[in-house]
Structure 1
Amino acid sequence: MNKSSKVLALKYRPQNFFELIGQEVIAETIINSIKANKVPNAYLFTGIRGVGKTTIARIVAKSLNCINGIDKICKDDLCDNCDAITNSSHIDVLEMDAASKTGVDDVRDLIEFSRYGPSTSKYKIFIIDEVHMLSKQAFNALLKTLEEPPQYENGGGLKFIFATTEIKKIPITVVSRCQRFDLSRVKSGELFEFIKKIKDKEKGKISDDALRLIVKISEGSVRDALSLLDRALLSLDKDKELDLNSAQKIFGYFDKSQLIELFELILRGEEKKAIEIYRKIYEQGVEPKVFINDFLELVYYFKNINSLNIESTNFTLNDEEFSKIKKITNEVSDETLILFWQFTLKTLGELEIVNNQNLSIEMFLIRLMYLKSSANKEYLPLSKNKIDQFKKQDDKQIIVNEKKNETISQVKNISQEQEVKIENNKEIKAEEKLNVNSFDQLLKICNEKKEIKLKYELEKNVNLVHFENNRIEISFNDNLDKNFIKDLSLKLFEWTGDRWIITLSKSKGDLSINDKQKNKKIKDINSAKQSELYKNLIEKFPDADLIDVNSKEEND
């Protein structure tokens, strides 16, 4: 293939360690091992797509078999070995795609082929790409050869070079026989300079902001960046520069200033304007999942903007956007941003199960506004495990209020609060009001009112910490019903005509009624076993066991 007709990812593929970007430490380690003649039996390269796994595998093959040696390795004028490896035509360097050859028979043919020494080079090398695709039997067949590869008369040997994106799918017995290298994502600044040089070589007119967008979308993958650059160059008019706005339309991305404006409108509760901006973004061809991921990223910047600088945002934000976020962040609490983050993650999962994702995003934005109205700075969010236990339903929200140091949270449901406001307007008859002065009295009233579920929760899953007029402080176990606090608050208001505060405490509190009864039963049984009656009974019936004790009062 004519070099000028190749795609950029192949045309500018590094041919030696000096052209490689982003993996300098790995390159230096491999070069040093070859110079010291301490070459491992097998290399294992792992990392995300497009960071240079297969490229480094070929460079290692060249470094081992270059006629000029590692100190004078070919750069421009390639020797016969380096030229053949570059073109994938070297007789001693075999490249295999494990995705298409996964069986044990393919590996056996490979091992059989390894019995014969190299023809024109020092090392016989097997490069296996996507090695995690091999079957379990194929991996087992490799083990012995990996640990003790054959040695040849010329002093060389057999070397394996594996590449994979799924390191966890490779058996640990194979990984332990390899020298493993984890390739990192290429840093944004380095990738930007790399594609900018290529753009200049290709004589393309693309603005730096458009190149930064390419870097962002590629997520540290050099191949992805070059593929996007290729697409951008093909979209250019001859005498027109590709600017950021044009690049956003080509790649389906939108101006972040729109998202920041949308975020600001959500904080102000301006529903109509916020939906209008989102619809404009959607009309630009932005997928709902892309939008929600960018929204998550923006929430992160709002939360951490004071600890970041413009360079650390990986070209996501320009100077103007960075300054605007920094200004707005002073007007929003950390608690609100954390709630936004959790709610956005939940919505991201919901997108997988809805047919019209666009409508789901609009409802998500509206729900955020209502969430914001509940998350003032005087409130603090529940911890994650308590959010799971008191999960809000679609038509409800949870407000939590930090009390004193001895309590964790005060939980109050909005729907409950609304019902309370309605009931406050109605006069409760005096004869219907009840006095609840103790925990035991509360249990008694639950029994009288046939509130069996509420009584069950109070006895089994609640530990009393403190009880006083119109305030109950409790701790609880993992079995407590998620609607318990709402149900108890409503019933107490219904019975007493007063609003009660239910608080969750850090203290363990008293044992639950159920636990107290269990302990009493154990104590009574142990006491009864010390009696003469029990001892005489055991003498006559050795297999007998005492399982319960009833007092005379209970029998009566």
Structure 2
Amino acid sequence: MENFIVSARKYRPVTFDSVVGQQHITGTLKNAILNNQLAQAFLFCGPRGVGKTTCARILAKTINCEQITSEAEACGECDSCKSFQNGNSFSIHELDAASNNSVDDIRSLIDQVRIPPQSGRYKIYIIDEVHMLSQQAFNAFLKTLEEPPSYAIFILATTEKHKILPTILSRCQIFDFNRIRVDDMAQHLGRIADNESIQYELDGLHIIAQKADGGLRDALSMFDQIVSFSNKQISYQSVIDNLNILDYDYYFKLTDSIYKEDAAQAILIFDQVLNRGFDGNHFIGGLSSHLRNLLVTKDPSTLKLLDVSDNIKKRYLEQSQQLSSGLLLSALNISNQCEINYKSSKNQRLQVELALLKMCHIASAIMLSDNGTFSALAEQKKKRPEPAVTSATVSVAEIKKQDVPVEPESVKPSTLIPPAPSKPVENHPPKMSDTGKKGWGSVKVATSIPNLNAIFEEKAVEEDNKPSLVRGDANKEVSLNEFLQKWQEFAERLKNENKINLFTLMTVAQPRLSGNSLIEVEVENAIQMDVLNSAKIDMLNFLRVELQNFSLDIKGTMMEHQVSRKPYTSQEKYQAMVAKNPTLEKLRQEFNLGLS
């Protein structure tokens, strides 16, 4: 019976072209070999299982190959290549720094470097997990790494580059290995399955690639495990059963329940997940990823960010068309908050169920919010009287008939007639469309439009049916006490609204009423000036209506501060003391005292 060899060893790349997902590194190394521009030391760093040690071995074999191809690949037939493949090469040495990390191990390596290679052009040293070397070993290795013999090349590999001394990093060419993409990994697993005559579903291979998290070695280990589990028939169901992965169907069904506002079905789906042995935190994290994928699928330009198979991608496309972006964002926010509070919650199942209930009522909450807002606007319109049509009103028909624009100068503010009190007209809100979707019905437009001057000159009528005021007719004399009373009233309103900055500005210094129209407010700095200018319109709207004077204006004036310098020298300090107490000078003269 032939011994079984795991796929990670059996299908280990032996050439640069067979390396998966690291083309940016293999291309650079091949060009360096062709141009004979090899560095004295290389550092390969990156996560586990992405091909660091494999690329180091391929580079070492290719450098000493006697018949390098035109594509910078080792021939595999010369004595150097055969000795390396058999593991008895005298020119290529591998050192595991995890178990040989002392100063004595490095000194032994340095002694070996002094001996020229017996065969081949270079003597190559591959040091794996180099970050495990001790501080003393790194220091002993520095000089040799900086000035090695012309025939010596060092290839270092590590998963934790931050643990290596900067002096070591500065002496190496650094190559950062990327995590292998899901598509590249799934295609590589498919080629291995074809060579081994294994039946497979592409969706199942994609799940293995996603679970591997960018490491090909982990993917090959799971691949061997599932081949044994499924008897060489890799299906989507066998993969999720063996790897204990939540099926996409759970999340698609749950999202449909959220869209239909079926809270009972959503809770039942979560109960099924718990009965299968999955943790609630794992479930809510998967739901967040599912909602994120739906948002990504809404825009075709971001569809490439989805690391799933084509079949699953189609399902995402179909479901994303049914859901609005607002619903998805709200649900994603709820799931993210649930994931944050999950570990600190005492009743973790209730935490997830509460999040699901909130998601199922998002649409209803939006509908209620919209209806409430509209009702408030409708009530406000009911309380406001109908605008009177003045002599400046021009009908649409007349404008079309004359086809001449109306000049604003022809209507003066003084000629405006105050509108007579009229019965308020009830403005009913537009009816919702019969299709069942949220939208506004058709609204009839008035057949006549008022002149622009009339619109700007009219003033809003208060809820207590005060007579309307027109700017040209209202210029009432304002007394100081009345003005200060209204000023304080507006400040108290700001205090209730928690606008502390403006409230402080209005109450610290008393304003001055210059003449009958200008209000001067003293400010201490430019920041207070900006605060005053930003609230100027609201203040004037309140004061002009309350005081019935539309000529009022507010102006900020900067306070003049006297700049004083703190006494520094002895003479300045003495003069400051004399300024406070003049008798001190008489005391100094009587006793003939001087300054030290």
- Give the TM-score range, shorter chain: 0.5 to 0.7
Task: Confirm or deny that 1:315 pairs with 2:353.
Answer: no
Task: Confirm or deny that 1:282 pairs with 2:274.
Answer: yes
Change (3 A) 1:47 1:237: same
Question: What are the residue-to-residue correspondences of 1:180-195 with 2, within 5 Å?
Answer: 180-195=174-189
- Partners of 2:102 and 2:368 lie apart in 1 by 61
- Partners of 1:83 and 1:375 lie apart in 2 by 72
State whether residues 42 and 160 of structure 1, in contact with CA within 8 Å, keep that contact through their aligned partners in structure 2: yes
**1:145 Cα offset (Å):** 1.5
- Partners of 1:533 and 1:19 lie apart in 2 by 87
**1:357 Cα offset (Å):** 6.2
- Partners of 1:96 and 1:375 lie apart in 2 by 64
- Partners of 2:189 and 2:182 lie apart in 1 by 11
Percent identical: 30
State whether residues 45 and 177 of structure 2, in contact with CA within 8 Å, keep that contact through their aligned partners in structure 1: yes
1:174 pairs with one of 168, 180, 184? 168
Could you tell me the TM-score, scaled by structure 1's length?
0.64
Deviation track 1:500-547 (CA, whole Å, cap 9, x = no partner) reads xxxxxxx9747xxxxxxxxxxx969959999x98652489989xxxxx
Aligned AA for 1:315?
V
- Partners of 1:248 and 1:330 lie apart in 2 by 30
State whether residues 108 and 141 of structure 1, in contact with CA within 8 Å, keep that contact through their aligned partners in structure 2: yes
Aligned AA for 2:9?
L
**1:142 counterpart residue number:** 141
Aligned AA for 1:250?
N
Deviation track 1:402-459 (CA, whole Å, cap 9, x = no partner) reads xxxxxxxxxxxxxxxxxxxxxxxxxxxxxxxxxx94657998x9xxxxxxxxxxxx89
**1:96 counterpart residue number:** 95
1:261 pairs with one of 244, 248, 253? 253
Task: Confirm or deny that 1:252 pairs with 2:244.
Answer: yes
Change (3 A) 1:441 1:538: farther
State whether residues 45 and 162 of structure 1, in contact with CA within 8 Å, keep that contact through their aligned partners in structure 2: yes
**1:197 counterpart residue number:** 191
- Partners of 1:10 and 1:102 lie apart in 2 by 26
State whether residues 45 and 163 of structure 1, in contact with CA within 8 Å, keep that contact through their aligned partners in structure 2: yes
**1:176 Cα offset (Å):** 1.8
**1:536 counterpart residue number:** 579
Deviation track 1:103-138 (CA, whole Å, cap 9, x = no partner) reads 333323222322222222322222122222223332
- Partners of 1:321 and 1:464 lie apart in 2 by 55
State whether residues 264 and 328 of structure 1, in contact with CA within 8 Å, keep that contact through their aligned partners in structure 2: no
Deviation track 1:484-508 (CA, whole Å, cap 9, x = no partner) reads xxxxxxxxxxxxxxxxxxxxxxx97
- Partners of 1:163 and 1:538 lie apart in 2 by 80
State whether residues 288 and 332 of structure 2, in contact with CA within 8 Å, keep that contact through their aligned partners in structure 1: no
Could you tell me the TM-score, scaled by structure 2's length?
0.60
State whether residues 61 and 85 of structure 1, in contact with CA within 8 Å, keep that contact through their aligned partners in structure 2: no
**1:242 Cα offset (Å):** 3.1
State whether residues 106 and 137 of structure 2, in contact with CA within 8 Å, keep that contact through their aligned partners in structure 1: yes
Task: Confirm or deny that 1:162 pairs with 2:205.
Answer: no
State whether residues 296 and 303 of structure 2, in contact with CA within 8 Å, keep that contact through their aligned partners in structure 1: no
**1:20 counterpart residue number:** 19
**2:501 counterpart residue number:** 463
- Partners of 1:126 and 1:354 lie apart in 2 by 53
State whether residues 41 and 158 of structure 1, in contact with CA within 8 Å, keep that contact through their aligned partners in structure 2: yes
- Partners of 2:28 and 2:501 lie apart in 1 by 60
**1:301 Cα offset (Å):** 1.6
**1:148 Cα offset (Å):** 0.8
Q: How many residues of Structure 1 are paired with residues of Structure 2 in the alignment?
A: 415
- Partners of 2:6 and 2:353 lie apart in 1 by 40
CA RMSD of aligned residues (A): 4.2
Aligned AA for 1:95?
E
Change (3 A) 1:72 1:259: closer
**1:248 Cα offset (Å):** 0.9
2:234 counterpart SS class? coil
Aligned AA for 1:16?
T
- Partners of 2:322 and 2:132 lie apart in 1 by 49
Which segments of 5 or more consecutive residues in structure 1 lack a partner in the other structure? 152-156, 380-435, 446-457, 469-506, 511-521, 543-556
Task: Confirm or deny that 1:6 pairs with 2:5.
Answer: yes
- Partners of 2:202 and 2:244 lie apart in 1 by 18
**1:432 counterpart residue number:** none
Change (3 A) 1:224 1:66: same
State whether residues 125 and 154 of structure 2, in contact with CA within 8 Å, keep that contact through their aligned partners in structure 1: yes
1:5 counterpart SS class? coil
State whether residues 113 and 152 of structure 2, in contact with CA within 8 Å, keep that contact through their aligned partners in structure 1: yes
| Structure with max Cα Rg | 2
Question: What are the residue-to-residue correspondences of 1:27-426 with 2, within 5 Å?
Answer: 27-69=26-68, 71=70, 77-151=76-150, 157-237=151-231, 241-266=233-258, 269-308=261-300, 312-315=305-308, 318-330=312-324, 332-333=326-327, 335-337=329-331, 339-340=333-334, 342-344=336-338, 346-347=340-341, 350-351=342-343, 361-362=352-353, 364-366=355-357
Aligned AA for 1:463?
N
**1:314 Cα offset (Å):** 1.6
Aligned AA for 2:203?
D
- Partners of 1:98 and 1:356 lie apart in 2 by 47
Deviation track 1:157-204 (CA, whole Å, cap 9, x = no partner) reads 211111122222222222221111112222333222211111011111
- Ranked by relative contact order (alpha carbons within 8 Å, sequence separation 6 or more), the top structure is 1
**1:58 Cα offset (Å):** 0.3
Change (3 A) 1:74 1:296: same
**1:366 Cα offset (Å):** 4.6
1:101 counterpart SS class? coil
Which segments of 5 or more consecutive residues in structure 2 lack a partner in the other structure? 371-487, 507-528, 533-559, 586-596
State whether residues 95 and 127 of structure 1, in contact with CA within 8 Å, keep that contact through their aligned partners in structure 2: yes
**2:471 counterpart residue number:** none
**1:8 Cα offset (Å):** 0.4
- Partners of 1:377 and 1:158 lie apart in 2 by 76
| Segment of structure 1 superposing worse, 248-257 or 271-280 | 271-280
2:53 counterpart SS class? helix
Aligned AA for 2:111?
E
**1:342 Cα offset (Å):** 4.0
- Partners of 1:364 and 1:299 lie apart in 2 by 14
**1:234 Cα offset (Å):** 0.7
